[in-house]
Amino acid sequence: MKTLLKKLTETASPSGYESAIREVIRAEISSLSTNIKVDALGNLIVTMGKKTDNGLRVMIAAHMDEIGVIVSHVEQTGLVRFSNLGTILPQYLAGSRVVFLNGTRGVINHDLPDDLHKIMPLNKHFIDVGATSGKDCPLKIGDVGVFDRSFVDLGKRVSAKSMDDRVACAVMIETMKIIKNSPHELVFVFSTQEEVQCKGATTAAYEIEPDLGIAVDVTPSLDILGIKMQVDLGKGPAIKVRDMGMMSDPRVVSWMESTAKKNKIAYQLEVLDVGTTDAKAMQISKAGLPSGALSIPCRYVHSPSEVVDMDDVQATVNLLSALLNNPISL
Amino acid sequence: MSPQTKQVLNVGKAQLDLLEELTNANGVSGNEIEIREIIRKKVAPFVDEINVDGMGNLLVIKHAKKPNAIKVMLDAHMDEVGFMIVEEDGDGLYEFEHVGGGDERQFVSKPVSVGSQKLPGVIGSKPIHLASEDEMNAVISQQGMRIDLGPAGKGKAKRGDYAAYATKFIRSGDAIFAKALDNRLGCATLIELLKTAPEHVELLAAFTVQEEIGLRGAKVAAYDFYPQLAIAVDSTPAFDFERPDGNENTQYNCKLGGGPAIYIADRGTLSDPRLIRFLTEVAEENKINYQYRQPGGGGTDAGALHLTRGGVPSVSVSVPGRYAHTAVMLARISDWQDTLNLLQQALEALTPEILSGDRA
């Protein structure tokens, strides 16, 4: 799975501009279903299986978009000012490199600070693409880019930018490959624009009208700092109980727990006090539906070098496939 | 593209008179009735269907005259930012709240028009000769302000009455000074486009309510129309002055004289790239002056439109205006005319093929 993860994380596709990652994912799953479509917001929607008598229509969503930058102004000096696509944390900017969809590469730094110990806001940063003036700058207003960081194999663990949420896309792809005789209609959605308030999942859920929604995302793990209620790397997938956008349906949480126990998959419970996932959008779609989420613990979320544990990733595939291949009674 | 002569729109006396009537009327978010009635009367002679929905949106349809028409929604909000009376404070003085975004520092001394009787008043604060030195140097907060209707105003206004700035429209050369150019410019634009709508387009025009307090009307209007694509027409701030320190102004948002501002991204919407490309091509081909609005903050009704039902490819186009959300906005007639022509040519060039292929 490391090869797949490398391919996915090294693709540049920020929120709103997901065509590159869509094609990479499409190539991975095109042989798995004849029902593949792309909707108005660019979601890649793959339907597998048919609903049997006791089956459900389940929507499983992992977002394809990553956080990124968008050019707001090219200065006369050739330096480029930018705004954010999704939550960009200023502390990760100075010294980072970015790559734009037109191939341009650049480095980020900032204006002279009044106080060297204070982190400067986004609008005091700029991107240097090596241009000597605005006239020879290969970028223009509206051009979009992402962190430029390659995948690195650390053994049991791996690091890359956009583990959020490409690792979940990988989990979904691997799960789709081992779906067998599921009693359910499974609608796998590689969603768009999650980082800018779950837009893709909102419109996808509206059309799909699922009976049950599951989001697959990363969850921040600061286990090295010993913070309470943090999930840990290496302790298995996290079953989300609540985050800042959603309270998981308790029946969904129980179902996930009992399935994990039955299949001897180590898991954690997650109570998150920052952020949310596509499950929030699914839960309140139309007349509402029971929803929950599975999370892959991840260190340094939204940094250019996020870290996940490959055993957690595999265990998430095992749990997700066990959930989807078997009857569900909530 | 049709080989016929292209329709060129001009901003002349009729258009300016319409804009004057729209901007002088009062329609603070939640109370857009006066604006809606002006618009309804104006469009009735040349549209096919007119409806008002449960929230007060004015929904207007001009049917296509050709088969396989593309369903396009144009959206312009009718509401403006303003105030609401909260409590009488004796002798014609009233505590108030603001409705929609507004810069508190700019409220004091502004003439306002209160309630359905349009009572004249002024926003005042504690008289300066009674203020302490600290108070003189501090920014006045809204708590210390009152709408003053004068002594004869005692008991005349009540809690819940709306108040709007009392600015009157003035035209000076290429400049227009008025309140609520955000978004009566958009409303006037839609009215003009309804007149000259091309025959191959099913034109769904929504004059929406309550944009300034959360895109509330647009959400509902788009659910009803559910078009193939949507264009929000609005007005956006131009912060285009030179910087006092001589450095380059890198946060101007857009510029007066730069023509219609096409949105790439704002706080609420990532415009559909196919529509950004399409509008750019139309502008280039017709040699219409245009600019891109800087990605970053702000929002338009498109924030609600694109999330409707299964999703609607959307983009916004705005007329640049200085001093948005204050008593007097400033816009250029030439920018408005360029906006009209860009949208007219866009409607004429629109085919379903624009949306073929995946979003981006």
Annotated catalytic residue A194: yes
Domains of chain A: 2-66+161-325 (3.40.630.10), 68-147 (2.40.30.40)
Say what the pTM is: 0.94
Catalytic residue among B20, B32, B34, B211: B211
Helix pair A250-262, A310-325: axis angle to 10 deg: 110
CA nearest to A87 within chain B: B267
A168 contacts A320 by C-beta, under 8 angstroms: no
CB A258 within 8 A of CB A288: no
Domains annotated for chain B, with CATH where assigned, are: 13-80+179-355 (3.40.630.10), 82-165 (2.40.30.40)
Tell me the CA end-to-end span of chain B in Å, nearest whole number.
Answer: 24
- Nearest one of A68, A135, A57 to A106, comparing CA atoms: A68
Task: Give the whole-angstrom CA distance, residue A203 versus residue B311.
Answer: 5
For the segment A220-239, the average pLDDT, to the nearest whole number, is: 82
How far is B248 from chain A, CA to nearest CA, in Å? 7
Location of structure tokens 């241009």: A131
Does A285 have pLDDT greater than 90? Answer: yes
Helix (H) or strand (E) holding B291: strand B291-293
Size of interface A-B (CB pairs under 8 A): 84
Q: State the DSSP code for B139.
A: P
Provide the residue type at B318 as one letter: S
Question: Residue B6: which pLDDT band, with cuts at 50, 70 and 90?
Answer: confident
CA distances from B344 to A5, A144, B63, B117 (A): 47, 29, 16, 38
Exposure b/e, A139-157, CB count within 10 A at least 16 = b: bebbbbbbbbbebeeeeeb
Task: Report whether pLDDT(A53) > 60.
Answer: yes
How does strand A105-110 pair with strand A97-100? antiparallel
| Least CB–CB distance from A16: residue in B265, B296, B308 | B265
Minimal CA–CA distance to B112: which of B180, B208, B182, B213?
A: B180
User: What torsion do the CA atoms of B94, B99, B105, B111 make, to the nearest 10 degrees?
Assistant: -50
The residue from A194, A195, A270, A306 that is catalytic is A194
Q: Given the DSSP bridges, would you call strands B170-172 and A268-271 parallel, antiparallel or unpaired?
A: unpaired
Nearest-CA distance from A10 to chain B in Å? 18
Average pLDDT score over residue span B169-187: 97
Q: How many CB atoms neighbour CB A47 within 10 A?
A: 18
A73: nearest CB among B250, B306, B310: B250
Tokens of B157: 């206004």
Q: Residue A240: phi, psi to the nearest 5? A: -75, 125
**Interface contact B311-A76, CB threshold 8 A:** no
Span B194-210, pLDDT tens digits: 999 999 999 999 999 99
Question: CA-CA distance, A1 to A19, in Å (whole number)?
Answer: 22
Average pLDDT over residues A91-106: 97
At A267, the pLDDT band (50, 70, 90 cuts) reads very high
Is some CB atom of chain B closer than 8 A to the CB atom of A133? no
Lowest mean pLDDT among A27-41, B128-142, B201-215: B128-142
Average pLDDT over residues B172-177: 97
- The pair of structure tokens assigned to A49 is 């299986």
The torsion angles phi and psi of B321, rounded to 5 degrees, stand at -150, 135
Strand bridging mode B329-332 / B175-178: antiparallel
Per-residue pLDDT at B129: 56
Q: Which residue has the higher pLDDT, A225 or B171?
A: B171
Interface membership of B222 toward A (CB under 8 Å): no
- DSSP assignment of B206-252 equals EEES--TTTSHHHHHHHHHH--SEEEEEEEEE---PPPTTSS-----
Residue-level pLDDT at B125: 84
CB A218 within 8 A of CB A90: no
Q: What is the Cα–Cα distance from B83 to B101, expressed in whole angstroms?
A: 10
Q: Which amino acid is at A20?
A: A
CA distance A147 to A211: 37
Inter-chain touch B359–A73, beta carbons under 8 Å? no
**Is the CB of B309 inside 8 Å of chain A's CB atoms?**
yes
d(CA A30, CA A44): 11
Q: Which of A60, A15, A68 is nearest to A42 (CA)?
A: A15
pLDDT of residue B141: 81
For residue B90, count CB atoms less than 10 angstroms from its CB and return exposed for 0-12, middle for 13-18, buried for 19 or more: exposed
Q: Burial code of B103-113, b = ≥16 C-beta within 10 A, e = fewer?
A: eeeebbebebb
pLDDT digits (tens, 9 = 90+) for A171-218: 999 999 999 999 999 999 999 999 999 999 999 999 999 999 999 999
Q: In the structure, what pLDDT confidence band is assigned to residue A222 with cuts at 50, 70 and 90?
A: confident
Angle at B266 between CA A71 and CA A95, to 5 degrees: 35
Structure confidence at residue B202 (pLDDT): 98
CB contact B359 to A (< 8 Å): yes
A67: its two tokens: 């956080």
Region B313-340: what's the mean pLDDT? 97
The DSSP H or E segment spanning B343 is helix B333-349
> Containing H/E element for B315?
strand B314-321
By the 8 A CB rule, do A202 and B310 touch? no
Rounded to an integer, what is the distance from CA A234 to the centroid of its chain? Answer: 19
Whether the pLDDT of residue A224 is over 70: the answer is no
Asked if B276 and A39 come within 8 Å (Cβ–Cβ), the reply is no
Q: Give the integer Cα–Cα distance in Å for B164 and B144.
A: 19
Distance, in Å, from the CA atom of B204 to the CA atom of B207, rounded to the nearest integer, reads 10
Is the pLDDT assigned to residue B84 strictly greater than 60?
A: yes
For range A260-269, the mean pLDDT: 97
Share of chain B above pLDDT 70, in %: 96
DSSP code, position B322:
B
Across the interface, of B251, B292, B358, the residue whose CB is closest to A142 is B292
Rounded CA-CA distance A314/A263 in Å is 13
Residue range A168-180, pLDDT digits in tens: 999 999 999 999 9
Q: A123 and B292: CB-CB below 8 Å? A: no
Residue B270: its chain A contacts at CB < 8 A?
A: 15-17, 85, 193, 196, 199
What is the value of ipTM here, to two decimals? 0.92
Contacts B294 to A, Cβ<8 Å? 72-73, 83, 141
Chain A's closest residue to B307, CA to CA, is A203
Provide the Cα torsion B88, B93, B97, B99; round to 10°: 110
pLDDT score, position B1: 47
Q: Cα A19–A23–A27 angle (5° rounding)? A: 170
Q: Is B83 exposed, middle or buried (0-12, 13-18, 19+ CB in 10 A)?
A: buried
For A63-97, the pLDDT digits (tens) are 999 999 999 999 999 999 999 999 999 999 999 99
- The answer to whether the CB atoms of B309 and A16 lie below 8 A apart is no
**B295 → closest Cβ in A19, A83, A206:** A83
Write a three-state SS string for chain A: CHHHHHHHHCCCCECCCCHHHHHHHHHHHHHHCCEEEECCCCCEEEEECCCCCCCCEEEEEEECCECEEEEEEECCCCCEEEEEECCCCHHHCCCCEEEECCCCEEEEEECCCCCCCCCCCHHHEEEECCCCCHHHCCCCCCCEEEECCCCEECCCEEEECCHHHHHHHHHHHHHHHCCCCCCCEEEEEEECCCCCCCHHHHHHHHHHCCCEEEEEEEEECCHHHCCCCCCCCCCCCEEEEECCCCECCHHHHHHHHHHHHHCCCCCEEEECCCCCCHHHHHHCCCCCCCEEEEEEEEECCCCCCEEEEHHHHHHHHHHHHHHHHCCCCC
Residue A212 has which token pair? 């049950």
Residue B128 pLDDT greater than 90, yes or no: no
Any idea which residue has 């944009």 for tokens?
A: B211
CA distance A69 to A48: 35
Which residues of chain B does A193 touch, with a Cβ-Cβ cutoff of 8 Å? 270
Mean pLDDT in chain A? 96
| Cβ-proximal residues to B305 (8 Å cutoff; 6+ apart), any chain | B73, B75, B218, B222, B230, B232, B312, B314
Interface test with B, best of A83, A193, A209, A278 (most B CBs within 10 A): A83
Residues 193-252 of A with CB under 8 A from B: 193, 196, 199, 202-204, 206-207
* Chain segment B43-67, per-residue pLDDT in tens: 999 999 999 999 999 999 999 999 9
Q: Of B252, B307, B311, which is closest to A39 when you measure between CB atoms?
A: B311
H/E element, B205: strand B201-208
- Average pLDDT value for chain B: 94
Question: What token pair was written down for B254?
Answer: 């857009």
pLDDT confidence of residue A254 = 98
Across the range B87-115, mean pLDDT stands at 92
